[in-house]
Amino acid sequence: MKREHQEAAGGGDRRGGEGNWYVAAEQEKGKALMGTDDGVDELLAALGYKVRSSDMADVAQKLEQLEMAMGSSAAANDDALLAHLAFDTVHYNPSDLSNWVDNILSELNAPPPLPQPPPPPPPDDPLSLQFDLPPAVTEQYTIGTVDLPDGSPCKPADVDELQPEASTASSGWLISQSGHQPEVAMSLRDRKRLKVCSSPPSSTITADAATAAAAQQVVIVDSQEAGIRLVHALMACAEAVQKENLKAAGAIVKQISVLAASQGGAMRKVAGYFAEALARRIYRPQPPRGMGCSSTVESAALDDMLHHHFYESCPYLKFAHFTANQAILEAFAGFRRVHVVDFGMRQGLQWPALLQALALRQGGPPSFRLTGIGPPQPDNSDALQEVGWKLAQLAKTIRVDFRYRGFVAASLADLDPYMLLGPEADGGGVEDDEPEVVAVNSILELHRLLARPGALEKVLGTIRAVRPVIVTVVEQEANHNGRAFLDRFTEALHYYSTMFDSLEGGASPPAAVEVGGHDQAMAEIYLGRQIYNVVACEGAERTERHETLPQWRARMSRAGFDSVPIGSNAFKQASMLLALFSGGEGYRVEENDGCLTLGWHTRPLIATSAWRAAGDPLSTSASCRTASS
């Protein structure tokens, strides 16, 4: 049937034309049954179709099957295939209507070709592994559109978007490559999906011919499949590292960047950091300044700066500060002299909120003393004193009796009890006879002590010696301290993939919209340094030894501490805090046996717990005061 007839008879509607054919066929079927004509059908002959009346019943049945096939859900949703069927009608003999219908039915009902299995690796290749990786290529890939040979680009209205196979769940990437490229075997159905600019109505150039004449070849890469292969490549590289097969690991790590190029967003960034960490572990190059495994003064200063950006870009540190402050505030209820020892003072971001809460306490604010501990600075500046001066200005404004002492220490294991308490612990110089109660606060600090044998036990013993009414501990909810490298790598890959997803999915607070992009980029570097330490470092240099809540419970219990349940007020207010970040969508606060965790969707990422010395009468007295208040 000709396109001119299609436009004249059906207004360009293919389905309408098929309906007219079906009506004409039924009419001729009736004529044949009445025996009016055994020759060529006169009505169809007048329209240019030569069909014998004796064949009308068979043609009508096939047309009905064609209408049902084209009306099915699979064919109705395949726009590219329907467009091809309408375009290809000029290539069939109008007089051979029966065979034409058979050809279309065979194309609609043909099953998709099965993918060819990859060839097996040579038996003598020592680098062959049990997964499929793309060959190493040196050509540069670009993402863009495909131009015709004459140089005229396709107009958006004339180009159908290239789609992956119908069975693929995710969208594909269109990658064009100049120069030589191996030919890709495609079935007839696959080639129909690759369309170029459509020709005028009178043109007889098929879509296949136009595709073959294109100057550039195209390849559809499924991003979901590439993502799965990327994870498999990372795991295979880590397994080779664990087996000390560094030659195979080096060959695999070179392919990871090729696979990561097809990914976007968080997955690409995470894969990049893990690939870099694996490469540094394999080749052992001299690390750049600030990225070494060893904890240097320069590295600690850079970590403090990145820590601030991480605080601004996501709610994890805010959650840690808020829940710890709430537990300390409840433990200080009824006491007139309070003292907080902070194991990680940094910029002092946690304490303005506690100062304000103490200022509003019923009966007036208590006398508040703060001891801040931090690492030495690269320029030998007294950054801790600068932080204390700012806090003192705030305390003066809100009328809180405030005293501050900064203490520089390269490691918490170097501290002794008398250093934490100071000369004012016994009430010297203070007229009030009431003893001073102490709270110890640790935000993401204790896990670093696990790199040195016996360091954590010494610090916990020092904490017990100061007899605190409460000890608040916030740590990453992950197990990155296992003996087996592959297990540690797998856990880290899952943990940091979720963490990067939360950075992408959670928006910055309104106050940080203008600088939110910069904060997020620096926060990713902050996490990337942790990935590097977990993967590339070993021994005492591997300080990011995160453990889970059950593991910390066991350690604290062995050191003589009892768990203190965090109140429901902290849970409710922490949930309200998350509303500042993307409306709280995606973030989850959960209670876990008296502790609080914050995670992204179903994965907990950070946990807050509270403890007190077992059998200490002062801690018991503080608990009674808290309950009565």
Angle at 399 between CA 396 and CA 400, to 5 degrees: 90
The better pLDDT of the pair 111, 234 is held by 234
The band of 46, judged by pLDDT with boundaries at 50, 70 and 90, is low
**18 and 105 Cβ atoms separated by less than 8 Å:** no
Instruction: Name the nearest CA neighbour of 196 among 180, 177, 215, 175.
Output: 215
For 112, how many CA atoms within 13 A lie in the half-sphere containing its CB? 14
What is the rounded CA–CA span in Å between residue 408 and residue 383?
A: 10
Instruction: Name the nearest CA neighbour of 319 among 23, 595, 7.
Output: 595
Question: Would you state the pLDDT for residue 486?
Answer: 95
**39 and 53 Cβ atoms separated by less than 8 Å:** yes
Angle at 24 between CA 19 and CA 25, to 5 degrees: 95
Q: Is the pLDDT of residue 454 over 60?
A: yes
- In the predicted model, what is the mean pLDDT of residues 612-622? 70
Instruction: Name the nearest CA neighbour of 583 among 269, 351, 315.
Output: 315
Q: Mean pLDDT lowest for which of 142-151, 453-462, 565-574, 596-605? A: 142-151
**Number of Cβ within a 10 Å radius of residue 362:** 6
Question: Would you state the pLDDT for residue 41?
Answer: 67
Q: What is the pTM of this model?
A: 0.65
Report, in angstroms and rounded to the nearest whole number, the Rg of the chain calculated over CA atoms.
Answer: 36
**Beta partners for 173?**
221
Question: Would you state the pLDDT for residue 98?
Answer: 65
Share of the chain above pLDDT 90, in %: 44
**316 and 605 Cβ atoms separated by less than 8 Å:** yes
In sequence order, the 6+-apart residues with CB closer than 8 A to the CB of 460 are: 555, 556, 559, 560, 561
CA distances in angstroms from 510 to 37, 552, 584, 587, listed in the order given: 82, 36, 13, 17
Q: Length of the chain in residues, anyone?
A: 629
In sequence order, the 6+-apart residues with CB closer than 8 A to the CB of 23 are: none
Q: Mean pLDDT lowest for which of 184-193, 212-221, 502-511? A: 184-193
Question: Would you state the pLDDT for residue 624?
Answer: 55
Q: Is the pLDDT of residue 600 over 60?
A: yes
- In the predicted model, what is the mean pLDDT of residues 271-278? 94
Local structure of residue 539 (DSSP, 8 states): G
Q: Mean pLDDT lowest for which of 272-281, 409-418, 510-519, 611-620? A: 510-519
Question: Would you state the pLDDT for residue 446?
Answer: 97
What is the rounded CA–CA span in Å between residue 252 and residue 263?
A: 18
**152 and 158 Cβ atoms separated by less than 8 Å:** no
Angle at 488 between CA 485 and CA 491, to 5 degrees: 150
Q: Is the pLDDT of residue 195 over 50?
A: no
Angle at 440 between CA 488 and CA 467, to 5 degrees: 120
What is the rounded CA–CA span in Å between residue 449 and residue 462?
A: 14
Q: Is the pLDDT of residue 597 over 80?
A: yes
Per-residue pLDDT of 457-482, as tens digits, reads 999 999 999 999 999 999 999 999 99
What is the rounded CA–CA span in Å between residue 385 and residue 372?
A: 9
Per-residue pLDDT of 516-539, as tens digits, reads 578 899 999 999 999 999 999 999
The dihedral of CA 199, 204, 205, 206: what is its sign? positive
Per-residue pLDDT of 145-155, as tens digits, reads 334 344 444 44
Q: Mean pLDDT lowest for which of 72-86, 97-111, 501-515, 566-580? A: 72-86
Q: Is the pLDDT of residue 303 over 90?
A: no
Question: Would you state the pLDDT for residue 219?
Answer: 44
Which runs of E-coded beta strand occur in 160-222?
172-177, 217-222
Question: For the chain, give me the number of helices (H) and strands (E)?
Answer: 23, 12
Per-residue pLDDT of 391-426, as tens digits, reads 999 999 999 999 999 999 989 999 999 988 876 655
Question: Would you state the pLDDT for residue 450?
Answer: 96
Per-residue pLDDT of 239-255, as tens digits, reads 999 999 999 999 999 99
Question: Would you state the pLDDT for residue 588?
Answer: 92
Question: Would you state the pLDDT for residue 304?
Answer: 85
Question: Would you state the pLDDT for residue 158?
Answer: 39
Q: Is the pLDDT of residue 199 over 80?
A: no
The band of 381, judged by pLDDT with boundaries at 50, 70 and 90, is confident
Angle at 586 between CA 584 and CA 590, to 5 degrees: 80
Question: Would you state the pLDDT for residue 153?
Answer: 43
The better pLDDT of the pair 311, 32 is held by 311
Q: What is the bridge-based pairing of β-strands 561-563 and 437-443?
A: unpaired
The better pLDDT of the pair 506, 270 is held by 270
Share of the chain above pLDDT 70, in %: 58
- In the predicted model, what is the mean pLDDT of residues 213-242? 75
Question: Would you state the pLDDT for residue 109?
Answer: 61
